[in-house]
Structure 1
C-alpha cells in the first residue's frame, strides 16, 4: 500500500488555511484511490478538527521531531505545508522520501529542493521558481486546492444575491471586524459576520455588543459556501476565501493581514478588485464609498474575467498527478 505523510500546522497566530488546504488534498487523493494510506502530522491546536475526519494523525509541535516520527515508516511521498521550516528540514525529508512543498510566495524555501512544487495562487507563475530537471511544478489557479464542496460547484447565475459578508478567517487578532462594523453602521444593508473558530470569547462579546438589527453573527460555521453564495459583497482577507467568493461570483473587497496575502491582493487589485490595504494601515474609511459604488453597478459589468480564474477542480487534477 502506498503511504503519504502530510505535515502542517495551524491555530491561533498561524491560522487554519494550511490545514484545510492539506485536508482537501488528502480527501481528493482518497477519492481517486482509496487504497493510499494518508497520515497527518499536526500540532495540538488542530486535533479537534482532524478528529472529525477519517485520517490518522500524530501530534507534534516541533518540526525537529518529524524525522523521528517517520524514521521507520515506508513513505512514498511527504507533503509539507508550513512557513516555519527551513531548507535543512526539506533536505532531511528528501533524503528519506519524495517531497512535495506547498508554497505561496517563493520567499522562504529553496524551490529547487522538493520533487514537486505547488502554488495554486493566480500569481504563482510570475514568482521565478527554479528550473530543475525532473521536478514537477503545479503552478497557477488551474491547480488551486479548494474545499470538497467546491469540486463540482455549479453557480446559479440567477441567484438573488444581497448584502455584505465579513470574514477575517479563523482568527481576528487585530479587531478588524469591529472596525469594519463601526465604519458601515449607517448603511442600509444586511450584514453577516463570520465568527471564526479561533476568535477569543472576550472578543466575541465585544462584537455582540456592536451588533445591530441588520447584522447577523454566524458562529464558527463548518462551511462559508452558502453565506458567500447568497452575499453580493464579501469583505475578506486575501486568503483562500477570496477564491471561494470569485468562484461563486460574489464581489470581494480585500485587505491583507499577512505577508503571504500581499501578492494575491496586489494581483487582484490590478484586475479591478478593490483593496483596502494591509494591517495596520487598512483604509476603513474607503468602505462606504466602495460599497455604494459597487451597489450602483451590476455585477456583470465588474471584472468579469476575474470570476473565471478558478474552477474548483484543481485539487482533483493534482490528486491524479500525484497518484500517477
Structure 2
C-alpha cells in the first residue's frame, strides 16, 4: 500500500480551511486504497482530534512516504528540498503564488487575473499545474447537491451565516449584532461556526435566545447552502463552494490571501465584495441585510455566474492527477 503524508495545520490564527480541504483529498485517496497520514503541529485551535476522529493517523515529524502533500503558507522550496529525502514526489496546494516551490504537482483552485500564468517562475519546469475552478476540492456532499439544485430567483427568505471555521475577526458577532431589527424579514437563519471559533459558546447562546439555527463543526454545509437563498460569508475557498451550488453571497476579506480572489470574483459578478474586515462594521451588515430583497435581479445573476464559473464535466479531476503522480 502506497503511503501519503499530508503536511498542514489549523489554528485560531491560521484557520481551519487548509485542514478541511486536505481531509477531502485524504478521504478520496483512502477510497482508492492509499494510506494517508496527517502531519500537524499541536497549535492552539488545532484540529488534530477531529482528523483522528475521521479515521486518519497523526504524526509530528517526517517519515518516509511515496508522496507528500503540502498545504501550508509558511512552507516553500527550502522545506520541500530538505524533505525530498523522505519522499519520491511532492504535491503543493497553494492560493498565493508568492514563493518558490520544489514540487511535482501544484494545485490552486482559485480564479484570479492571469491565474494560468502566475506560477510560471515559481516552480520547476517539470511541475504539472492544476489551476482554476475546474480543480475545486469538493466533498461528496457538494457533488451530490449540485445535481439537485434549483435555479434561484433572487428572493431571500433563508439566510446562511458562515464566516469560516475560526472567524478570527469576529464577523459572526457583527452580523448577529446587525440582525435584531431585521431578522423578521427572514423566515429561517442558519449560523455555522467551527470548533476553533473562540466565541462559539456566546454565538450558540444568542442563537438559542433568538430562535436561529446554530451549527458547529458540521459535515453537511452543502445541504445548508442548497437550502439557503443568500449567504453572508468570508473570502477563501468557501466562496467557490457557494458559487458551485449557485448561492448568491457576500464575502468579507478576513485574510491577505483572500484579497485577490475575492476582488476578482466580485468583478466577474460572482459575489458581493464587502471589503476588508476592519472596514466592515455592524452597520455594513445591517445595510446589506436591509437591501437584499431590492437586489433580486442582481442576486439571480450572481447565482448564475457562480454556477457558470465552477462548471466542470468531471468533478474532482485532481484525484486522477494524484494517482498518475503515484503510478
> TM-score scaled by structure 2?
0.84
Q: After TM superposition, give the deviation of residue 311 of structure 1 in Å.
A: 4.4
- Cα contact 2:103–2:124 (8 A) shared by 1: no
Conserved 8 A contact 2:207-2:213: no
Q: Distance in 2 between matches of 1:315 and 1:166?
A: 26
Q: Which residue of structure 2 aligns with residue 103 of structure 1?
A: 94
User: What residue is the counterpart of 1:254 in the other structure?
Assistant: 251
Is the counterpart of residue 220 in structure 1 residue 210 in structure 2? no
Counterpart residue number, 2:280? 282
- Counterpart mapping for 1:190-269 below 5 A: 190-200=188-198, 204-205=201-202, 208-209=205-206, 213=210, 215-269=212-266
Aligned counterpart, 1:63:
none
The range that moved more, 234-243 or 91-100, is 91-100
CA–CA separation in structure 2 for the residues paired with 1:181 and 1:88: 44
Q: Do structure 1's residue 118 and structure 2's residue 116 form an aligned pair?
A: no
**Using the alignment, how far apart are the partners of 2:276 and 2:95 within structure 1?**
17
- TM-fit CA distance, 1:151: 3.1
The within-5 A match list for 1:58-73 is 58=59, 60=60, 66=61, 69-70=62-63, 73=64
The separation in 1 between residues aligned to 2:251 and 2:241, in whole angstroms, is 13
Map of 1:320 onto structure 2: 320
Measure the CA separation in 1 of the matches of 2:204 and 2:314. Answer: 36
Counterpart Cα distance in 2 of 1:291 and 1:13 = 28
Q: How does 1:97-176 map to 2 (within 5 A)?
A: 97-107=88-98, 109-111=99-101, 113-123=102-112, 124-125=115-116, 127-130=118-121, 132-152=124-144, 153-157=146-150, 162-176=157-171
Counterparts of residues 2-17 of structure 1 (less than 5 Å): 2-17=2-17
> What's the offset of the Cα at 1:209?
4.2
In the TM superposition, what is the alpha-carbon distance from 1:230 to its structure 2 partner?
1.2
1:224-272 Cα distance to aligned partner (Å, 9 max, x none): 1222111111100112222221122111101011111111211111122
Cα distance in structure 2, aligned partners of 1:129 and 1:46: 33
Distance in 2 (alpha carbons) for counterparts of 1:170 and 1:301: 28
Gaps of 5+ in 2: none
Match of 1:204, SS?
helix
CA contact (8 A) 1:122 1:267 kept: yes
TM (norm. structure 1) is 0.85
